[in-house]
Structure 1
Amino acid sequence: MRRRRRNAVPLVIVIIISLIVLIVSVRLFSSFANNDPDDVVSRFYHYEQEGDFGSAWELFHPVMQERFSKNAYVTERSHIYMSHYGVTTFEYEIVDEDEIQNWKMAEDSETFPTADKMTVEQQFKSKFGNFTILQDVYAVQHEGEWRIVWEY
């Protein structure tokens, strides 16, 4: 009597489907996990830390994107860090966080019902010595996602 060999194709299909479900679940979970104001600020500075100023610009609220074209922002920001400061990267830390009601980025701009104000400390080691910059950064909601705004 002959034994039939099990067909390996169904096992491969089950493994592939399981991997797809796992990947989709991880991406879905990570998109929910990044829907925090401090997450968007951390991603923004992480991109800048890596020199990926284009991805950082994408995290700006549309009112900020109107202030800077993507090309101008990438060019100017990289020029400031690399040419003026003489650094290739920096360390950063969110040192303070506060929720503000009815906040405006400038006197003549729209009012945001809620803004999360975070003080970000950037530490640079440059050819001119070590220095620190403190900047207040605001995260506001736009179409269900947190976006970056600066005060003017």
Structure 2
Amino acid sequence: MVRKSASLKGFMVGTVLLVCIVIVFMLIRKSWFSPDKEAVAVVEEFYLYEQEGEFASSWNLFHSTMKVRFGKGHYIQDRAHVFMNHFGVETFDFRLSEPDKIDHWKMSKAGPAMKNVYKILVTQTYKGKYGNFDLKQEVFAVQEKDEWTILWDYNQ
């Protein structure tokens, strides 16, 4: 009888310990790999590429509907021309707001509805031949085929 009680106690302690380990693992996973953090990470990655003038790499982070809007070659050429040549700057600084989750969102009136989208305000600070100025744009991040991607708003 004593052996059964001791083994039952050991089983209960082991079960409680296992449940605690699973809970701790889930909390760590949620804090490190939560969707809002992943959305911010892809937006940050996008603007780090843009900051370095690596427009081909930033274009690769676009959602497929954005890639349809901009061919890769056109985007690379246009982005460098407008921002770097016209503004007379080599690079820029940027900061990101906290993400806001949007349950349903459309990139444009005719576009498909998307679920679980994160809106992040990006403020780019330029220091160029025309002085210092900030450019603010709401950027949207959504998962597409298990990858986080970037979208811009074309609603009017």
Q: TM-score, normalised by structure 1?
A: 0.76
Unaligned runs of 5+ in 1: 1-31
- Give me the whole-angstrom Cα distance separating, in 1, the residues matched to 2:146 and 2:114: 13
Alignment partner, residue 4 of structure 1: none
RMSD: 1.6
Task: Report the CA distance between 1:81 and its aligned residue.
Answer: 1.4
Question: Partner of 1:100 in structure 2?
Answer: 102
User: Which residue number corresponds to residue 117 of structure 1?
Assistant: 119
**Superposition misfits of 4+ residues, deviation over 2 angstroms:** none
Q: Counterpart of 1:68?
A: 70
The one-letter code of the counterpart of 2:123 is E
Aligned residues: 121
Q: What CA deviation, in whole Å up to 9, does each residue of 1:28-53 have, x standing for no partner? A: xxxx96x7000100000000000000
Instruction: Compute the TM-score of the two structures, normalised by the length of structure 2.
Output: 0.74
Give the one of 141, 144, 152 matched to 1:142.
144
Partners of 1:98 and 1:50 lie apart in 2 by 27
Assess if the C-alpha contact under 8 Å between 1:96 and 1:120 holds in 2.
Answer: no
Give me the identity figure in percent: 43
For 1:1-152, what aligned pairs fall within 5 Å after superposition? Answer: 36-152=38-154
State the match for 2:7 in structure 1: none
